[in-house]
Homo-oligomer: A and B are copies of this chain.
């Protein structure tokens, strides 16, 4: 049976292996071991030499991880796996922006050994420092798995679209949020309800805030932005707004208007600097991001020659994430690599932060108000005084004598909409927090 998984490349298998240590044996770590095992011959052929796990490390040596660890040496000391003479490269799949992951990264790169990680939090916070160490001795620092899991988007932007000035990059960068939003949409249920179910089924963490508040997507966005714009990674200036405030009613109204509610991370380089924001948006139903189902991720990049590129796939899970980690290892084994952020880190620009209030577009504004005489006039006045022109306006009866107001504004500056809403916040007629979402163009 001519199955590439069973074909053996004698020459490649006899070349000196890339010997790796794997730090962290959770979801991703176990996936990496399983993948290297299951696709061993294929990987040897593609990499031109074997990739061999020589050492592994985690917290608890005795935990059952569903994989056979007996072929690999266990190392208790995880901090400096690169010090081991038989380790050529280190894979870090521990997690956490600091702590043992960061220590290991620094130690590995300082010893001049390649470092592969899935750790978006660490790259978002310390990517510039680590890239500086890596670039100074031309050592691979690779993190394909850190953004959008199995989708090779780092490679697509670093190399595939490298000839383009990228005008903006945006997408669905958190599978948990997309899972929740699409389930709310399909079943007409509210956020809290769906979240509880997702937690019970293991699709969402017990502490979901990294996901649902947009922090995880923000980490990934900051990495994408640096890769696209040749700018210094600047996670500190990513604005994040999560999906907790989105209700089933918002999703219904959006649908009526021809849109879907998605958590979108977007970075754009404009005249006045770099805009980076994670927030729920209304996406036109015919936009490719409008069709991304369940927990998938997707990234759109717009280049000045290539136009719009769209990439979709699994953003998490042991298999897809391991796929990205091992792709990085194959690049390392092949010796096909260069500066982590596509260009020498010292040449990355420190861009000013763009004024997000100046962004232009349509917005969706939803209010829950007391169903009293005069409320409509109050809202209309606030809009007028803030200079917001309304394109469509819907009022529906809600529970307990309240009314839901859903508006779509004409094109205008974000600051005007924010101003209009702030004019209303003091009103006793406003029940609960208003929701404002930008509307993406097609």
Task: Please give the residue numbers on chain A whose beta carbons come within 8 Å of chain B beta carbons, in ascending order.
Answer: 1-5, 7, 9, 11-12, 31, 35, 38-39, 42-43, 45-48, 144, 150-152, 155-156, 159-165, 229-231, 269, 271, 273-274, 286, 288, 291, 303-314, 317, 319-320, 322-327, 329-331, 334-339, 342-344, 347, 349, 351-352
Contact = CB atoms under 8 A, between A and B. Distances in A.
Q: How often does this chain occur in the complex, in copies?
A: 2
Contacts of A317: 307
Contacts of A271: 1, 3
A338 B3 contact: no
Nearest to A350: B2
Contacts of A156: 152, 155-156, 160
By Cβ-Cβ distance, the 5 closest A-B pairs, closest first, are: A152-B160, A163-B326, A306-B323, A150-B306, A305-B319
Given A31-B305, A152-B156, A163 B313 contact: no
A76 to B, nearest CB: 29
A195 to B, nearest CB: 24
A3 B165 CA distance: 9
Given A165-B5, A230-B45, A313 B306 contact: yes
Given A291-B288, A291-B291, A313-B310, A327 B163 contact: yes
B150 A309 contact: yes
A349 B150 contact: no
A161 B324 CA distance: 7
Contacts of A42: 165, 230
A312 B288 contact: yes
7 contacts: A2-B273, A2-B351, A39-B304, A150-B305, A152-B156, A152-B159, A311-B312
A322 B273 CA distance: 28
Contact of A307 (B3, B273, B313, B339): B313
Contact of A311 (B48, B165, B286, B311): B311
